Amino acid sequence: MRIKWFSLVRVTGLLLVLLYHFFQKAFPGGFIGVDIFFTFSGFLITALLIDEFARKQGIDYLAFLKRRFYRIVPPLVFMVLVVMPFTFMVQRDYVAGIGTQIAAVFGFVTNFFEMATGGSYESNFIPHLFLHTWSLALEVHYYVLWALLAWFLAKRAKTVGKYRGMLFLASSGLFLFTFLSMFIRAFLTANFSTIYFSSFTHIFPFFAGSCLATVTGIANVSPNFTKLVQSWSMKKTLSVLGGSFAFLFVLSLFLPFDSLWTYLFGFLAATIAACAMILSARILHEKTPDKKEPAILNFLADTSYGVYLFHWPFFIIFSQHLGNMMAALVTTIVSLILTALSFYILEPTIAGKEPRVFGMKMDLSFLTKPIFYLMIPLALLMIGISAFAPTVGAFDESLVVSGLNQADSKMQVTRTQVDNATATDYNVSNGVTMIGDSVNLRAQDYLIKAIPGIQIDAVVSRQLENGMKVFETDISNKVLLKNVVIALGTNTVSNYKELLDQYVEKLPKGRRLILVTPYDGRYANDQSSESVQTRLYELELAKKYDFITIADWYQVAVENPNIWVGTDSVHFNMETNGGELYAQTVKEALDKAEKGPVKK
């Protein structure tokens, strides 16, 4: 039984995800589109299980898994195979370790793979081509475990009413447990991606949908739902449907991924709005018996899963060669074509059904064999690329090499230098000490070339707080040189003012402080963001203290948008002179500082 207007729910989820991936700066909260899918899947699966129990007085668990297999696996395999030839269009970083990625995809553990490798949902310099299948992994975990529990409960239920009650108690209990898991863990982690990816914390929208299904239904509806349909006017139904969509759209405009409030209340609010949209669409179906959904709406809903699968890897690939808008357009067209091919031909053929296009039977047998024969060389290509792909990409490799080089360089700062310090009345050795993060690590070769003798101590994910420990250690070991460059702040902290004040206070006499302003392109236009606020406070400190100089990397980054093409908007593109610009910015600030006073 097809419920009209559920297509609106599917299309809303897909729309928000596409807007987020294509235009992340404009729609920073579009990731909640996935939560709409989660909520709807929970509703649909549970409602169908109730319908099956009503017909058969039991649940066929193996048949359920078989139906899910035919719906999920064929387009997934098709997507991976089709993407592989296009990997020749991008640099080797994008295929580094791709065999492991593919194994995680087919094992439905991409979410755990990303957690294990320290992946960030938003901020990977080289995004994994199959990162988006984390949500599919979580969905499969729900299907397998929830359907097993539903089968178990069906063995003990004697009536549909009792079965509904059992499912309601189970789903509401699991909803509370998993939501509280996210709520509590949000206070205990600095990396929100681990909560976002986790099957234990981000699975609660499914159970919210399951709860809703037990009090409404699809073919077998509850008495309470029948009363609800009668009590709701058409105006109220449309108001709730439109209002919930508007609320979700507003969330997509303002909900930040890395905010504590998103994990405490944001995902919950999106889930509740998705439930309201599902309920109002279900009621609208009952109130419009003579209406038909537009064919285009049916098409977009039917292909939403496939478009979700195809869009991410193709957008990553096309973005390397096209502008963002054109890449989004080409990605959408290619995704729709490939999805239609999969949905209307490949999937029904594998399931032993006759292909239908817009509900009409069509003889597409002449396409079946060519498509399946094409899969053979694509499968061999996938195996070949996986076997010969580099284990580590050039970006990661450069960070490792830079880290080793800087460790060797720092060892050269010997006690002899300290003993021979005669640069000033404070017995300070001339030179430059730089404490930074992965941005500085990436620019290390350019910094060494522009500033000979610079001593760099930079590691990935360092922020102002743990940078302070390095600063204090250098002071106690008497290896802090005359000009001290602090290039931190990209990895934000809320107490940036307090920490920056400590850097100023603890800076030993006879030294200068050079602060490199942080730049995060995702939030560069948000004056309330912590990275921008950190920069503004650094500018204030430079006005207050004459021994502080600013290397305004933020301003240089804004004025040179070409260095961010194909990046995570934090780590510049080396092929567009990003490294040279960074080093030049620091060098110019040092030259300016040399003309000014030291701390007295």
CATH number, span 394-594: 3.40.50.1110
Q: How many CA atoms lie within 13 A of 89 on its CB side?
A: 15
CA separation (Å) from 201 to 35, 167, 267?
Answer: 12, 20, 11
Structure token digits, residue 279: 């309920």
- Which residue is it, tokens 């729309």? 15
How would residue 459 be classed by pLDDT, with cut points 50, 70 and 90?
A: confident
In angstroms, how far is CA 14 from the centroid of its own chain? Answer: 15
- Contact between 530 and 494 under an 8 Å Cβ cutoff? The reply is yes
How would residue 416 be classed by pLDDT, with cut points 50, 70 and 90?
A: very low
pLDDT reported for residue 365: 63
Task: For residue range 544-595, list pLDDT tens digits in order.
Answer: 999 999 999 999 999 998 888 767 778 887 777 889 999 999 999 999 999 9
* Pairwise CA distance, residues 130 & 137, whole Å: 11
> Taking the domains of the chain in order of start, what are their residue ranges?
6-388, 394-594
Task: For residue range 270-304, list pLDDT tens digits in order.
Answer: 999 999 999 999 999 999 998 999 989 999 999 99
Strands 360-361 and 356-357: antiparallel
* Pairwise CA distance, residues 442 & 517, whole Å: 16
- Contact between 89 and 320 under an 8 Å Cβ cutoff? The reply is yes
How would residue 412 be classed by pLDDT, with cut points 50, 70 and 90?
A: low
pLDDT reported for residue 420: 47
pLDDT of 171 higher than 70: yes
How would residue 415 be classed by pLDDT, with cut points 50, 70 and 90?
A: very low
* Pairwise CA distance, residues 443 & 182, whole Å: 37
Average pLDDT of every residue of the chain: 88
272 CB contacts (<8 Å, ≥6 apart)? Answer: 208
pLDDT of 121 higher than 80: no
pLDDT reported for residue 530: 87
- Which residue is it, tokens 């300016």? 592
pLDDT of 371 higher than 50: yes
* Pairwise CA distance, residues 137 & 191, whole Å: 20
pLDDT reported for residue 374: 81
pLDDT reported for residue 414: 46
Choice between 399 and 516, residue whose per-residue pLDDT is larger: 516
Structure token digits, residue 428: 């300070």
- Which residue is it, tokens 């957008």? 315
pLDDT reported for residue 394: 53
pLDDT reported for residue 566: 63
For range 260-278, the mean pLDDT: 97
Choice between 50 and 344, residue whose per-residue pLDDT is larger: 50
Q: How much of the chain, in percent, has pLDDT values that exceed 90?
A: 64
pLDDT of 423 higher than 50: no
pLDDT of 313 higher than 50: yes
- Which residue is it, tokens 């909520």? 39
Question: Residue 357: in which H helix or E strand, if any?
Answer: strand 356-357
pLDDT reported for residue 347: 83
* Pairwise CA distance, residues 470 & 588, whole Å: 24
pLDDT reported for residue 418: 45
* Pairwise CA distance, residues 25 & 451, whole Å: 35
In single-letter form, the type of residue at position 362 comes to M
pLDDT reported for residue 216: 93
Q: How many CA atoms lie within 13 A of 502 on its CB side?
A: 13
Task: For residue range 498-510, list pLDDT tens digits in order.
Answer: 999 999 999 999 9
Q: At 529, is the secondary structure helix, strand, or coil?
A: coil
pLDDT reported for residue 422: 44
pLDDT of 122 higher than 90: no
CB-neighbour burial class of residue 293 (10 A; exposed 0-12, middle 13-18, buried 19+): middle
For range 195-219, the mean pLDDT: 96
pLDDT reported for residue 156: 94
Q: What angle do CA 25, 27, 33 make, to 5 degrees?
A: 140
* Pairwise CA distance, residues 338 & 252, whole Å: 27
pLDDT of 408 higher than 60: no
pLDDT reported for residue 421: 44
Choice between 526 and 317, residue whose per-residue pLDDT is larger: 317
Task: For residue range 134-169, list pLDDT tens digits in order.
Answer: 999 999 999 999 999 999 999 999 999 999 999 999
First to last CA, the chain: 80
Strongest mean pLDDT among 186-195, 307-316, 460-469, 484-493: 307-316
How would residue 201 be classed by pLDDT, with cut points 50, 70 and 90?
A: very high
For range 418-435, the mean pLDDT: 67
pLDDT reported for residue 419: 46
471-495: burial string, b at 16+ Cβ within 10 Å, e else? beebeeebbbbbbbbbbbbbbbbee
pLDDT reported for residue 424: 45
Choice between 351 and 119, residue whose per-residue pLDDT is larger: 351
